[in-house]
Structure 1
Amino acid sequence: MTFEFLAQEPISISENLIPDDALLYAHPAAVGLDSAYIHSKVDSIITNGIKNNAFPGAQILVAKNGNIIFHKAYGYHTYDSIQSVGLEDIYDLASVTKIAAALPALMKLVDEAKLDLDKPLSEYWPRWKRKKDKKDLTLREILAHQAGLEPYIVFLNEVLRKNGSLKHRFVRASPDHRHNKQAYDGLYIKNRFNRKMYRMIDRSQVSKEKKYVYSGLTFLIFPELIEQLTGSSYDYYLQKNFYLPLGATTMGFKPKTKDYPNPIVPTEQDTLFRHSLTQGWVHDENASLLGGVSGNAGLFASATDLAKMMQMYMQYGVYDG
């Protein structure tokens, strides 16, 4: 078993570290942690995972008190052990998209009084006004996963025939005026397929029992809601208000279409939908059917850039001034 050590050397050590708005590299001892113990434990867990083929490689970043005290890359992008994992590689963030894309936009809109957590979502998403079981669901209930919504709908079933082939009316190999939402190399989704998804969400069941049940359905709706409330595209709004001010230059959707110098780590070998190694395109099928830009999945970033956003949350919306 092999793994590559790429940890950066500490930039500064101080007995009286004064937290800065921006993340800094520091030795674990600077925040009261045992460096040898941390390295030993993390190395053991990750190398064991690689040895047992749980994953071909990984990257771990740990920050405490505004200081990155551990940042290390292990293994390779794929099991063929060709390309080593690097510290600035870009990853598919999967469901972390919910808290790193849709959520900050919603929080900003609440802060600007364009959304109210305790008003029914139907006040902003009028199609739910006609749905007796959904018209009174508040944004607070929905975000707390206590609205009774179904956890998930497999929209991929709508574009697959029984033999597993794709329905031509929904998916094309090349773009045309009705199919230009790119989901993968040589895979274009019908522009209005999102309407079909919304209708299926409209018809989905709502439990009367308001207990915690994780549901990602409204995160498929939120991007269009955000666009309606801001007058900007969802992707542009996030870039302008969060990612660019944070200096999170790798954070965004559909990195395969952008000129990033950073390598993009593959996510999975897709045997159901795209029938190839998924790399630089969102792995989540529902987000893919929205053209790769969604609130439930689809965001990509390096570990460092994701850490900047998490640190911003820790500092109540402030980062680097």
Structure 2
Amino acid sequence: MRLPALLLVTFMAMSAAPAHADPSTGRFDRPHAGFSPAWTTLHPGRLEAGPIDAALERVRGYTDVDAATGHPLFSGAVTLMVHDGAVVAHRPAGWAVRYSDKTTELPVERRVPMAEDTIFDLASISKLFTSIVVMQQVDRGRVRVDQPVSRYLPEFGVNGKADITVEQLLTHTSGLEPYLPLWQAWPDVPSRIKAVMDVAPKTPPGSTYTYSDLNLITLGVLVQRVSGSPLDRLVRDGITRPLGLVDTGYNPPAAKLDRIAATEYQPNTSRGMVRGTVHDENAWSLGGVAGHAGVFSTARDLAVLGQAILNGGTYDGHRILRPKTVERMLTDFNTEFPGNAHGLGFELDQRWYMGALSSPRTAGHTGFTGTSLVLDPMSRSIAILLTNRVHPSRDWGSVNPARRAVADGLAKALAVRPQRGPDAWTPSTSGATLTTGDLPGARRVSFDAFVDLDVGDGVVLQAGDGTTWRDLTTLTGTGTRTWKRVDVAVDANRLRWVYTRGTGYGGRGVYLDGIRVLGDRGTLLDAERNPEALTSAGWLRVNR
């Protein structure tokens, strides 16, 4: 079975001390190489409160009416953050039901507030459930990802699709177009499924990355064919039941309606305000159970699933996937398509919603209804934001700023500890400079650097006379999360470090420590002993 030529990470089951004894706990600058210990389960815990509280307040603020638009960014949300199994934040905000139609707000007494156990339509996060079921069939030997889909679904192998593989469906490299209006253009479930089986590729299979609902709809049909069981039963028996996810599944029962967040006002489907049935029109037209959408869940249930993935496929003694299978789901198979890293199911390294938790190993998915799940194996952390951003309208804007705020808040709550002495230098503004005084006879400068920045951000070490400057070296880095020692030859009277913020989404930040300048006769500057010898414009001394 084919694996990518370049594996970005090798995950291994780890035999280690319990998580609470791990010196890396609470640290951003001590990345883990493998899975969390298999015994890790969710439990109450704490991290640095400031960044987390700030993120939670930003999420809450998005539920307020914006004066410029006349409406909130989203009606309500539930945020959940986990580090090393410890639930460090779990907070509702706003309203699960706020509107009676596309423009009319309900009186406060008729609204339904968000709660920790509010049930959300996960939208495309459902694709992860389908992908897990597919990989369970791989574990059972019923499916091979390198084989043509037509081996399992002969009717799919028409109109140029005979060679499309299961892997290409999982990684969105099949060439299929993103969407078909199944609910409008075809009259019933059999004809809608046939339309997906019959569709021709939009681009040659394997030539491009194109995110497509049709890929996962096809996989939902495939797992039913090879197993003899419908997708909802496979999800129930293979995921939700063993993991104890009591509020997760398709077509939630009417008894839970009072806990379900409303989605969109849809007069075009004759459903009015959608609540308790799947928002996605195609999934709705397929009976609420489809490979691309349809799963409902709570933040807590989704966190359990996320922890099972971080644990290598197991939670509380119940295994749903083999460790090697999880490894493949979290390994980039799309190295030919930079910016579209994708494992066998999970998206990887997508800073636009993963924020400062981004790295080549960070996995997750989003959903059109305003949901997101981010799993960071390097810090063993989970960031979940569930919103009903389509309530009452899908046209009110993107929730990506809120998604990044949650991921950033969790990342910033994890410490970057100074390497030498009690503190290190970090910039607080774009264009910040950290400058030495006159250092006649300077020959070498060395310092420790931690750099976790977005593309376009950087720190430049410059040499000069205080008036003119020339670049010596540029510090960049994304996703490595480790300190490194920098040693540079110099021939100048002064040195300075200039931080520039680019136009991207940022990262965990940059830190300088242990700055030391040597001349022919020894040390000219030891900033650990004499930090006042550095002049700061926008750099701060911090201890984390």
TM normalised by structure 2 equals 0.47
Assess, with a 3 A threshold, how the Cα gap between structure 1 residues 286 and 218 changes in structure 2: closer, same or farther.
Answer: same
Amino acid at match of 1:148: G
Deviations 1:40-80 (A, max 9, x none): 23312431343331111111011122221111000111333
Gaps of 5+ in 1: 1-13, 29-33, 160-169, 171-189
Residue in 2 aligned with 1:238? 235
Assess, with a 3 A threshold, how the Cα gap between structure 1 residues 40 and 89 changes in structure 2: closer, same or farther.
Answer: same
Query: How many Å separate the matches in 1 of 2:142 and 2:254?
Result: 32
Instruction: Give the number of equivalent residue pairs.
Output: 270
Residue in 2 aligned with 1:56? 75
Gaps of 5+ in 2: 1-19, 26-35, 67-71, 99-105, 318-544
Query: How many Å separate the matches in 1 of 2:261 and 2:182?
Result: 26
Task: Indicate the SS of the match to 2:315.
Answer: coil
1:33-112 paired onto structure 2 within 5 Å: 34-52=48-66, 53-79=72-98, 80=106, 81=108, 82-99=111-128, 101-112=129-140
Task: Indicate the SS of the match to 2:113.
Answer: coil
Amino acid at match of 1:65: D
1:317 is aligned to 2:321:
no
Percent identity of paired positions between Structure 1 and Structure 2: 28
Residue in 2 aligned with 1:304? 300
Greater share of strand: 2
Task: Indicate the SS of the match to 1:198.
Answer: helix
Query: How many Å separate the matches in 1 of 2:243 and 2:143?
Result: 24
Assess, with a 3 A threshold, how the Cα gap between structure 1 residues 260 and 200 changes in structure 2: closer, same or farther.
Answer: closer
Query: How many Å separate the matches in 2 of 1:293 and 1:145?
Result: 20
Check the 8 A contact 2:172/2:215 in 1, yes or no.
no
Assess, with a 3 A threshold, how the Cα gap between structure 1 residues 317 and 262 changes in structure 2: closer, same or farther.
Answer: farther
Deviations 1:93-151 (A, max 9, x none): 0000000x21111010111111111111110111123x151000111122111111111
Structure of higher CA gyration radius: 2
Query: How many Å separate the matches in 2 of 1:234 and 1:222?
Result: 10
Task: Indicate the SS of the match to 1:54.
Answer: coil
Task: Indicate the SS of the match to 1:77.
Answer: strand
Higher relative contact order (CA 8 A, sep 6+): 1
Residue in 2 aligned with 1:114? 142
1:249 is aligned to 2:246:
yes
Deviations 1:272-315 (A, max 9, x none): 11341100100101101110011110100111001111111111
Task: Indicate the SS of the match to 1:259.
Answer: helix
Residue in 1 aligned with 2:513? none
Task: Indicate the SS of the match to 2:203.
Answer: coil
Amino acid at match of 1:84: P
Check the 8 A contact 2:216/2:291 in 1, yes or no.
yes
Give the drift of 1:198. 2.1
Check the 8 A contact 1:133/1:206 in 2, yes or no.
no
Query: How many Å separate the matches in 2 of 1:233 and 1:132?
Result: 26
Worse overlay, 207-216 or 310-319: 207-216
Check the 8 A contact 2:156/2:162 in 1, yes or no.
yes
Query: How many Å separate the matches in 2 of 1:218 and 1:196?
Result: 14
Give the drift of 1:15. 6.9
Give the drift of 1:232. 2.0
Task: Indicate the SS of the match to 1:265.
Answer: coil
Task: Indicate the SS of the match to 1:76.
Answer: strand
Greater share of helix: 1
TM normalised by structure 1 equals 0.78
